[in-house]
Chain A
Amino acid sequence: MLEPFFRWCESTALGRAVAESVWAFPVLEAVHLIGLCVLGGALLVVDLRLLGLGLTSQPVARLARNARPWLVGSLVLMAATGVPLFLSEAIRAYYNTSFWVKICTLPVALTFTFAVRERVARREADAPGATGRIVGGVSLALWFTVAAAGRWIGFS
């Protein structure tokens, strides 16, 4: 049912331009990876803290507030590079299980991060309790799934 849409994606000017260029795909991939690094750092600083690890001397709320622009910025960077990467090989993605795992987990991870985690992190002051630990663990598990499935798109 969705296949015509994926075909259309691949036929867009941006998709064609990336697919036909020698350098565009690799360069977009490299910048996508830089985004992954910043995202990983911005997530871990807060999630480790929620788990009672890492920067334990700092209030969760402060770390979350400081990390937020880097979290949002890295997600914007990953979307800005990820969308053209997808457009260039949309039909391949359509038949790729890893792509579907990634694209289905991504909205869950985003919703959890900005609806649940953000609220909990803002409320947690000094010593996160069981809720904090669960939220930190779920956040890391969700984003790990997105990243691992994303890497596996290239292998499957």
Chain B
Amino acid sequence: MIERFLGWLGDTSWSVALLESLYVWPLVESTHVLTLGLFVGTTIMMDLRLTGIAFRKVPATAFTGRLLPWTRFGFAVMAATGLLLFYSQPLRYYHNIFFRAKVVVLVLAGANAAIFHAGVHRNAGDWDEDTTPPRAARIAGAVSLTAWAVVVIAGRLIAYNWFDCDLQPQSAWVNRLAGCGVGAAGAE
């Protein structure tokens, strides 16, 4: 079902136009990559504070308060451009193991952020000035650093077709992870 929907999506004229465009696709892709500096960049700085590795004299709430709007704005740009890129080649990305890994880790990173904000960040006033934040905050920072690094690396590797379904033979585990096989015939 998903396959048929994505196949239809990729055949829509806007999807084809986006993929085949000389400048729009590269511009969308470039925006996606450059916004990494804003979104992941500010996230890393916040995580360095939460882990107590850097900015130890800067109150943690300065990062979660004053810098977070910039992080959120960066995320919005990344999500918008990312969805456009997905829309340009839905089936190919759907069957790309790096894309799949990226989505899984993205969800983990999101859950980690949600747990942090609903949990230890609620009483941030109590540990705001601590050079070494409480354990829960340090764990949240470390998980975030790791998760976003994996997302960036997996995201970059999506461009490579080593494990694409139409490049058979692939080992069984690759075909399984990429969802190749019956019904994957439409993968480009």
Interface residues, chain A, CB within 8 Å of chain B?
22, 26, 29-31, 33-34, 36-45, 48, 53-58, 62-63, 66-67, 69-70, 144, 147-148, 151-152, 155
Count contacts between A and B, CB distance < 8 Å: 106
Main DSSP-derived SS at the B contact region: helix
User: Is B42 a contact partner of A45 (Cβ separation < 8 A)?
Assistant: yes
Residue from the list B26, B38, B58, B153 in contact with A30, Cβ < 8 A: B153
Main DSSP-derived SS at the A contact region: helix
B153 to chain A, nearest CB (A): 4
Residue from the list A29, A40, A57, A67 in contact with B156, Cβ < 8 A: A29
Residue from the list A37, A55, A151 in contact with B66, Cβ < 8 A: A55
Within the assembled complex, what's the spacing in Å between the Cα atoms of A3 and B94?
43
Total contacting residues, chain B, CB less than 8 A: 35
Within the assembled complex, what's the spacing in Å between the Cα atoms of A40 and B38?
6
For residue A31, which residue of chain B has the nearest CB? B153
Residue from the list B34, B45, B54 in contact with A151, Cβ < 8 A: B34
Within the assembled complex, what's the spacing in Å between the Cα atoms of A38 and B33?
13
Q: Which of A30, A37, A53 has the most CB of B within 10 A?
A: A37
- As a 0/1 sequence over residues 42 to 57 of chain B, the CB contacts with chain A under 8 angstroms (1 = contact) are 1111001000001111
User: Is A37 a contact partner of B30 (Cβ separation < 8 A)?
Assistant: no
A residues near B66, Cβ cutoff 8 Å: 54-57
User: Is B62 a contact partner of A55 (Cβ separation < 8 A)?
Assistant: yes
B residues near A39, Cβ cutoff 8 Å: 37, 41
B residues near A36, Cβ cutoff 8 Å: 33, 36-37
Interface assignment of B14: CB less than 8 Å from any CB of chain A: no
User: Is A66 a contact partner of B62 (Cβ separation < 8 A)?
Assistant: no
Interface assignment of B103: CB less than 8 Å from any CB of chain A: no
B171 to chain A, nearest CB (A): 16
